[in-house]
Structure 1
Amino acid sequence: MSAPAPRPYRSYVYAYPHKTAYRPLTGRPELAALWAGEPKDALSLYAHIPFCEVRCGFCNLFTRVGAPDELTTRYLDALDRQATAVREALGDRDPVRFATAAFGGGTPTFLTAAELERLCDIAEKRMGVDLRAVPLSVETSPATATADRLALLADRGATRLSIGVQSFVEAEARAAVRPQRRADVEAALGRIRDTGVPVLNIDLIYGIDGQTERSWRVSLDAALAWRPEELYLYPLYVRPLTGLGRIKDPAAADRAWDEQRLRLYRYGRDHLVAHGYEQVSMRMFRRADAGPAGPDDYACQTDGMIGLGCGARSYTSALHYSFDYAVDMREVRSIIDVYTETEDFSRAEHGYGMTGPEARRRHLLQSLLQAEGMPVAGYEERFGSSPFADFGPDLARFEGYGWLDADAPSGLLRLSPEGLAHSDGLGPELFSAAVRAAMAAYEAK
């Protein structure tokens, strides 16, 4: 008798390993040594701005509310110093080219237009990113998507603006501790469309307490009215503030919530597909007739990433590294304060070594969670082994759950629709024992 499938909503795996597996690095290795032998002709730049005007009830990101005492100025000063040190570490022996860029957070548009211009200058003048020649994605919120900020970003080359709406139903927004008026959300969307930036992405959340197919459709249709090029549908990962919290049996609460989220996911997926959207991953849907946002030859499975800011990660083939991580507001403030006071950014502080087996896991995981799947030949060419030899028991288990697409073309390892629906159950199944142990030993702060 086969074991039951894992719960469908265990954790959102957007990177491997999670930062809770990172630890202080012995000897604090020099960045110049870490990057010396790395390919640097198709890098990604990510700048992290850890400020928001309000902290949503579902948020566990590295961010703080507000920025008193010119904190944003001091943060950008530190970001400038870090960028200078990182670019020096990359060197000029081999060509250094950035293929894509993103500003995230937090909320990057918490910064003023003048501060956003400085952020763009840091990316261009310090790091050498041609923002007008590569895809540039910027996250925003209804309250901070002001005309002057958006105009500045459009002028500096933004190709994608992503706005976290979460719900167009005001009662649901309040339940998620995301106070906002629909009229303000619609006005912000209008301002984004007025910029002419080619890609609008709208984030929505399902699984909010009291949310039904009918109310979920209200949000879906309100978003579709703007014909966004992209839509992200995120499951809620914080227990509802009421409703399920009143159920005495936690197991029953979990089962009921899982059923609600799966039901709403399938409804949203089918609704978007019926309206001309293609599913890219469990979360991402792209309008079928939307043109490309620009040249993009960056591949997250193989190419390096440079992270700037105290919540950003950087990836080399041998090491993933960042700064300290926290969720508690006091701890986040402390880490940001330490970052702004740092003068020497030439060394890596916290991280996790990506050995051969871990690199294989990451490649399989990040490829498999995309709807297009993973060409087996590409994996074999990179690692000199077969994914079926390296992960045979895992893949056999996924096949037993019905998570693998039996009708995929020969040579393509791809999830079935049911596998995509269970991406947040499948992803953690591929974590190594070492990563699981490190995450379990992490002391939350």
Structure 2
Amino acid sequence: MNALPAQPSLESLLRMPPYQAYSYSYPHKTAYRALPGPRALRDVWAAEDRSALFLYLHIPFCSYRCGFCNLFTLARPSAEAVERYLGQLDTQLAVAIDALGEHRFARLALGGGTPSYLDTAQLSRLFDSLRRRDVDARAMPSGMEVSPETVDGDKMALCRDAGIDRISMGIQSFSDAEVRTLVRPQQRDEVERAIAAIRAQRFPTLNLDLIYGIQGQTVASFLASIDSALAFAPEELYLYPLYVRPLTGLGRIESRDGRPRFALQPEPLDARAEMYRAGRDRLLAAGYTQVSMRMFRAAHAPANDAGPAYCCQDDGMIGIGCGARSYTRALHYSSEYGVSRRSVAAILDHHLSLTAEDFARVDHGFALDGDEQRRRYAIQSLLVWPGLDLAAWRARFGTEALDDLPQLAALEPLGLASRTDALLALTASGMARADTLGPWLISPDVAARMAAYAPR
């Protein structure tokens, strides 16, 4: 058996541009493979703590596919496919809840895709499915993703009445020219209309997403978008660096004729780091607290600990729908992953043919041994503030974090983290390098799987 490739040193990574990869979940679904054999869903969850679970429903439909998007979603599906999908969602939800046995959901999220792509009747059908399974969105923090062109007053009133308390909307930029560069047809007046419809329903939390690194964007124009967003006093703001990934719209344009038309220039000409610092400073000056490299929370946002206790490092997730990820401590699973329209359509078509018996089995995912569980815990903790709780690590694993992952000791001498007896926390410089540190912490096995993944 060939040895796995050695991971690059932190020093060598720090000589590269800071934007290597976004480690929003570990391991990434490109590391998933067919399991050695199907496993019964009931058995997968039998030994797990099911007292505080995250329930996630995936709606893989959009009005259009943005040029940067590599999520599992299909633009402009047929009306028949949407209706069949909602039926499958109901079936899968029933099967999953039956397999869990005694359990409690502590968080609920509707993501995609674009959940608000559904019309009012379809959204009502979705919430009815939840209520029939005794899932009450009003009893826990419940969020939903929307896009400006799919928002209207009736939908937002329905969602608020159903218990949704957090709306997240991707705007990306308030500049129409910059949005067009992202292959996104929205206009600023459409965004402002959507925000007004959301605010009219008094959702406790409105999150707005912005992107930096767009071709033609400047620090000044990025700050102008931030200022436009601040005018609406969102409870949360996310600042995302642009990544141009294979099989996305921008990725295909970049590779056409071999000319990097949308490729971001390498340092020192890449302005993303400068935009990040300027955006961060503007939000801190406006009274926002930085939670991660991307997330900023306003002083007037609801308390983050509202609702039943949930910890993403310790508690499990049940993902319902094609493309949804589920995880226990030792197994992450989902349907296959695709980006191109052809692959997403094929995977979705297969999903629509599944039976209740099929949903009761798991056959595609990634099994996490002790080392992988520790790496996941470190990535999920360290890349957000307040940081990696060393006592919580000790309670979870019965070991010391720096003994288990000696590479963490390299952070302090480089000024990327500070350590006390209780906490290992990134410094501001370390947080600016989050998209370097995440890839640095992945295992050689996961890195090899991701490198070997063949995009569909």
Match of 1:23 in 2: 33
Which structure 2 residues correspond to residues 277-288 of structure 1 after superposition, within 5 A? 277-288=288-299
Q: Which residue number in structure 2 is paired with residue 365 of structure 1?
A: 379
Distance 1:69 1:182, change over 3 A: closer
Can you give the 5+ residue segments of structure 2 that lack an aligned partner in the other structure?
Answer: 1-8
The amino acid across from 2:398 in the alignment is G
Shift of 1:45: 0.3
Aligned counterpart for 1:324 among listed residues 336, 340, 347: 336
Q: What is residue 244 of structure 2 aligned with on the other side?
A: 238
* Paired letter, 2:389: P
CA contact (8 A) 2:116 2:146 kept: yes
- Describe how 1:337-376 pairs up with structure 2 within 5 A: 337-343=349-355, 344=357, 345-376=359-390
Cα distance change, pair 25–271 in 1 and its aligned pair in 2 (3 A):
same
Q: Does 1:184 align with 2:190?
A: yes
Q: Render the CA deviation track for 1:195-247: whole Å, top value 9, x for unaligned.
A: 11100000000000111111111110110000000000000001879999998
Q: Partner of 2:19: helix, strand, or coil?
A: coil
- Does the aligned pair in 2 maintain the 1:247–1:253 contact within 8 Å? no
The DSSP-based 3-state class of the residue aligned with 1:165 is strand
CA distance 1:140–1:384, change in 2 (3 Å) = same
Partners in 2 of 1:71 and 1:4 — Cα distance?
Answer: 45
Cα offsets for 1:296-324 (capped at 9, x unmatched): 41110000100000110111111000011
Q: Give, in angstroms, the shift of residue 291 of structure 1.
A: 2.2
- CA positional deviation for 1:290: 1.9
1:338-368 superposed Cα distances (whole Å, 9 cap, x missing partner): 1111112100121000111111110011000
Taking the aligned partners of 1:163 and 1:188, their CA distance within structure 2 comes to 9
**Is the CA contact 1:282–1:369 (under 8 Å) kept in the aligned structure 2?**
yes
**Could you report, residue by residue, the CA deviation over 1:237-263 in whole angstroms, capped at 9, with x for unpaired residues?**
018799999988999922256x41100
Aligned equivalent of 1:121, options 125, 128, 137: 128
Query: Percent identity between the aligned chains?
Result: 49
Task: Supply the distance in 2 between the matched residues of 1:355 and 1:144 (Cα, whole angstroms).
Answer: 42
Given that residues 387 and 423 in structure 2 are in contact (C-alpha distance below 8 angstroms), is that contact kept between their aligned partners in structure 1? Answer: yes
Give the letter for the 2:338 counterpart: A
Aligned to 1:424: 435
Of 52, 55, 64 in structure 1, the residue corresponding to residue 65 of structure 2 is 55
Matched, 1:219 2:219: no
Whether 2:345 is the aligned partner of 1:333: answer yes
> What amino acid is the match of 1:310?
C
Aligned: 1:106 with 2:108: no
Match of 1:403 in 2: 416
Matches within 5 A, 1:67-146: 67-92=77-102, 96-126=103-133, 128-146=134-152
Contact 2:148 2:191 in 1 (8 A): yes
Compute the displacement of 1:441 (Å): 1.4
1:259-288 Cα shifts (integer Å, max 9, x gaps): 411000010000000001000111000002
AA at the equivalent of 2:226: L
For residue 136 of structure 1, report the CA deviation from its aligned partner. Answer: 0.6
Superposed, 1:159-178 pairs within 5 Å as 159-178=165-184
Deviations 1:116-157 (A, max 9, x none): 11212222322x322111011000000001111111100000
Distance in 2 between residues matched to 1:44 and 1:281, nearest whole Å: 21
Q: CA deviation at 1:180?
A: 1.4
What SS class does the counterpart of residue 70 from structure 1 fall into?
Answer: helix
Q: Which residue does 1:45 correspond to in 2?
A: 55
Equivalent in 295, 306, 316 of residue 318 of structure 2 = 306
**How many Å separate the matches in 1 of 2:143 and 2:266?**
35
Name the amino acid aligned to 2:220.
R
For residues 153-204 of structure 1, the C-alpha deviation after alignment (integer angstroms, 9 at most, x for no partner) is 0000011000110000000000111111111110100100001110000000
- For residues 448 and 420 of structure 2, the distance between their equivalents in structure 1, rounded to whole angstroms, comes to 37
Distance in 2 between residues matched to 1:251 and 1:168, nearest whole Å: 22
Kept in 2: contact 1:244–1:253 (CA 8 A): no
Q: What does residue 442 of structure 1 align with?
A: 453
Q: Distance in 2 between matches of 1:210 and 1:402?
A: 33
Q: Who is 2:160 aligned against?
A: 154
> Distance in 1 between the 2:46 and 2:81 partners?
34
Shift of 1:397: 2.8
**What is the count of residue pairs matched by the alignment?**
437
Q: Distance in 2 between matches of 1:249 and 1:275?
A: 36
Matched-pair contact (CA < 8 Å) for 2:244–2:263 = no
Residue 66 of structure 1 pairs with residue 80 of structure 2: no
- Measured after TM superposition, the shift of residue 69 of structure 1 is 4.2
Q: TM-score, normalised by structure 2?
A: 0.92
In structure 1, what is the Cα distance between the partners aligned to 2:152 and 2:344? Answer: 27
Give the Cα separation in 1 of the matches to 2:451 and 2:288. 38
Please give the alpha-carbon distance, in whole angstroms, between the structure 2 residues aligned to 1:266 and 1:49: 34
Give the letter aligned to residue 403 of structure 1: L
Check the 8 A contact 2:254/2:261 in 1, yes or no: no
Aligned CA RMSD, in angstroms, stands at 2.2
Query: 1:229 is matched with which residue?
Result: 235
Q: Is the 8 A contact 2:41 2:99 kept in 1?
A: yes
Give unpaired runs (5+ residues) of structure 1.
none
What's 2:393 paired with? Answer: 379
Give the match's secondary structure for 2:395.
Answer: helix
1:364-416 superposed Cα distances (whole Å, 9 cap, x missing partner): 11000112101111101110111111111x213333432113xx543210001
Distance 1:436 1:349 in 2: 21
